[in-house]
């Protein structure tokens, strides 16, 4: 077995990729149906699919290149190029064959569309692969790219790509050839292994790998040197230290210590808060023009809460007793839920102030008015956060499973409490809201107590 065949084994040996393969396979049927119907977004959909595949495939060679042993493998410097080309060219060819279903006026036109589709696929594929090789923490940037994908149809990018393919096939072919030549040179550089060897590079699922994420943050801090010094503002430190010192019993001191560990640095990062607000404002404007879909902001904090550390587990056996860990985790979860709920509600109120002054946008002949977020959904963070914390506790050490479950819960709540009310004007009453909140918090407290009192708390 040669080196290339060994690298290709990763495609089926890594069980984590099976879920992504299934997700990509589910979209194939819809895309093929759009191609057969000559729908305007078929080229854009295939391009997005190829971008996702390119990103997924690029994580494998870059993961190998970061390991020092890659220098010991024979001719491994040329394997990334062979690996990526063997996948990208074959899959692009298969998609171009699918475009034979496109109902064009004659067979010559169909062949032209198939050739153009092949090069469109390779362009998107190489862009996805470059994305992974260019950015060390590329997973965070992909989240922003997802918004661009969904906004592509709204901005008319799908129509633009279709027009270029149908009217300027030669331009597409030339661009595709140049993209493949550039990719051949880029992934065949002599020093490609030296650039990545020994460096931490975040992969497809590493955003939920707590150990690697911590190691990545430590590496970034070490590279920044003195500029990365983490400090706590004197006023914040004095506040927590006084509370810890004045607490008479061990339980109170442990709780205040947990609050200090979780919130002291966060409250002291002024620059991070300024950057967060600067990024939040344009996102808030987008949500306002999304009509009912903008209320998704009430559900988004749940994804951050699923990985929130409640300090229940520790590598040290002397790091607090079971009773101390239970009450500290309960108070931390409650404080996080209240703070997030207050913040999201305040953001929703800001949109009510912006609604009278924001203009009406006209895109593709349709008018979009700015609508305030529905403040009546303020209870959703109070419901979703204990659910996320419960899932995080049950599947501690298995972040991928926890994220899958949270995505299922997120979609269910989004459809039945946000999308459905926009059509049928249904809103849960106060009694039902109270019952839902009591049930979610009761489950969280029960699971937390069981884990803290009965289970092993050593990492």
Q: Residue 365: pLDDT above 60?
A: yes
- Relative orientation angle of helices 42-65 and 79-98, to the nearest 10 degrees: 160
With contact defined as beta carbons under 8 Å apart, do 286 and 397 qualify? Answer: no
Q: How far is CA 292 from the centre of its chain?
A: 22
With contact defined as beta carbons under 8 Å apart, do 20 and 59 qualify? Answer: no
Cβ-Cβ contacts under 8 Å for 75 (sequence gap 6 or more): 3
Cα gap 204→218, rounded to integer Å: 20
Task: Specify the higher pLDDT residue, 386 or 63.
Answer: 386
Task: Specify the higher pLDDT residue, 30 or 258.
Answer: 258
Q: Residue 177: pLDDT above 90?
A: yes
Sign of the alpha-carbon dihedral angle for 59, 276, 285, 385: positive
Query: Minimum mean pLDDT among 218-222, 307-311, 333-337, 347-351: which range?
Result: 218-222
Angle at alpha carbon of residue 279, lines to 275 and 282, rounded to 5°: 150
Neighbouring CB atoms inside 10 A of 73's CB total: 15
Q: Nearest 5°: phi and psi at 144?
A: -70, -35
Q: Backbone dihedral region of 365: left (phi > 0), alpha (psi from -120 to 50 degrees) or beta?
A: left
CA distances from 9 to 6, 15, 109, 152, 205 (A): 5, 12, 39, 35, 18
With contact defined as beta carbons under 8 Å apart, do 43 and 162 qualify? Answer: yes
Cα gap 401→25, rounded to integer Å: 20
Q: For 73-94, how does the pLDDT look when each residue is reduced to its tens digit (9 = 90+)?
A: 666 777 788 889 988 999 999 8
Task: Reduce the DSSP state of residue 147 to 3 states and report it.
Answer: helix
Cα gap 170→123, rounded to integer Å: 14
Q: Residue 178: pLDDT above 90?
A: yes
What would the mean pLDDT of 413-429 be, rounded to a whole number? 62
Q: Residue 152: pLDDT above 80?
A: no
Cα gap 437→8, rounded to integer Å: 49
358 confidence band (pLDDT: 50, 70, 90):
confident
Cα gap 288→282, rounded to integer Å: 10
What would the mean pLDDT of 148-169 be, rounded to a whole number? 69
> Of 105, 93, 52, 79, which Cα lies nearest the Cα of 176?
93
- Given this model, what pLDDT does residue 21 score? 65
What would the mean pLDDT of 96-102 be, rounded to a whole number? 85
406 confidence band (pLDDT: 50, 70, 90):
confident
Task: Specify the higher pLDDT residue, 280 or 207.
Answer: 280
433 confidence band (pLDDT: 50, 70, 90):
confident
What would the mean pLDDT of 429-447 be, rounded to a whole number? 89
Q: How far from each other are the two terminal CA atoms of the chain, in whole angstroms?
A: 39
Count Cβ neighbours within 10 Å for each residue of 195-210 and write b for 16 or more, e otherwise: ebeeebbbbbbbbbee
> Of 413, 228, 172, 455, which Cα lies nearest the Cα of 322?
455
Sign of the alpha-carbon dihedral angle for 166, 125, 47, 290: negative
Cα gap 129→404, rounded to integer Å: 25
237 confidence band (pLDDT: 50, 70, 90):
confident
What would the mean pLDDT of 131-149 be, rounded to a whole number? 64
Q: Residue 208: pLDDT above 60?
A: no
Percent helix, strand and coil across the chain, each to the nearest 5: 80, 0, 20
Query: Minimum mean pLDDT among 33-42, 99-108, 296-305, 390-399: which range?
Result: 33-42
Most confident of 299-303, 333-337, 348-352: 333-337
> Of 335, 313, 301, 298, which Cα lies nearest the Cα of 395?
313
């Amino acid at each position: 077995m040669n080196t290339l065949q060994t690298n290709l084994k990763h495609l089926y040996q890594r069980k984590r990729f099976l879920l992504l393969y299934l997700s990509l396979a589910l979209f194939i049927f819809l895309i093929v149906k759009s191609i057969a119907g000559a729908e305007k977004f078929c080229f854009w959909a295939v391009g997005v699919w190829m971008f996702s595949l390119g990103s997924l495939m690029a994580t494998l060679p870059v993961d190998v290149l970061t390991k020092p042993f890659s220098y010991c493998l024979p001719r491994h410097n040329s394997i990334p190029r062979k690996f990526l080309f063997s996948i990208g060219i074959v899959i692009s060819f298969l998609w171009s064959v699918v475009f034979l279903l496109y109902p064009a006026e004659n067979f010559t036109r169909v062949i032209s569309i198939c050739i153009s589709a092949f090069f469109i696929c390779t362009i998107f594929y190489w862009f996805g692969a470059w994305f992974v090789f260019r950015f060390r923490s590329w997973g965070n940037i992909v989240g922003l790219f997802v918004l661009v994908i969904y906004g592509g149809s709204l901005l008319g990018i799908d129509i633009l790509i279709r027009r270029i393919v149908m009217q300027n096939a030669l331009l597409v072919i030339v661009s595709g050839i140049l993209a493949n030549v550039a990719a051949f040179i880029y992934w065949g550089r002599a020093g490609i292994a030296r650039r990545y060897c020994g460096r931490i590079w975040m992969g497809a699922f590493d955003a939920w790998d707590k150990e690697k994420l911590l190691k990545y943050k430590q590496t970034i801090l070490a590279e920044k040197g003195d500029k990365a010094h983490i400090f706590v503002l004197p006023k914040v430190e004095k506040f927590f230290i006084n509370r810890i010192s004045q607490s008479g019993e061990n339980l109170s001191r442990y709780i205040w210590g947990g609050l200090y560990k979780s919130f002291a640095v966060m409250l002291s990062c002024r620059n991070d808060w300024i950057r967060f607000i600067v990024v939040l404002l344009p996102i808030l404007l987008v949500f306002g023009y999304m009509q009912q879909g903008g209320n998704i902001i009430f559900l988004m904090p749940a994804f951050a809460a699923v990985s929130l550390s409640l300090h229940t587990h520790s590598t040290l056996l002397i790091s607090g007793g079971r009773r101390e860990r239970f009450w500290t985790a309960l108070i931390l979860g409650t404080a996080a839920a209240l703070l997030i709920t207050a913040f999201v509600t305040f953001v929703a109120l800001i949109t009510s102030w912006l609604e009278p002054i924001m203009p009406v946008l006209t895109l593709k002949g349709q008018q979009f008015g700015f609508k305030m977020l529905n403040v009546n959904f303020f209870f959703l963070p109070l419901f979703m956060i204990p659910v996320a914390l419960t899932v995080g506790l049950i599947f501690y050490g298995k972040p991928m499973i926890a994220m899958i479950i949270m995505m299922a819960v997120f979609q269910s709540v989004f459809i039945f409490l946000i999308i459905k009310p926009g059509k049928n004007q249904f809103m849960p009453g106060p009694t039902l809201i109270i019952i839902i909140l009591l049930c979610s918090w009761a489950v969280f407290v029960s699971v937390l107590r069981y884990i803290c009192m009965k289970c092993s708390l050593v990492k």
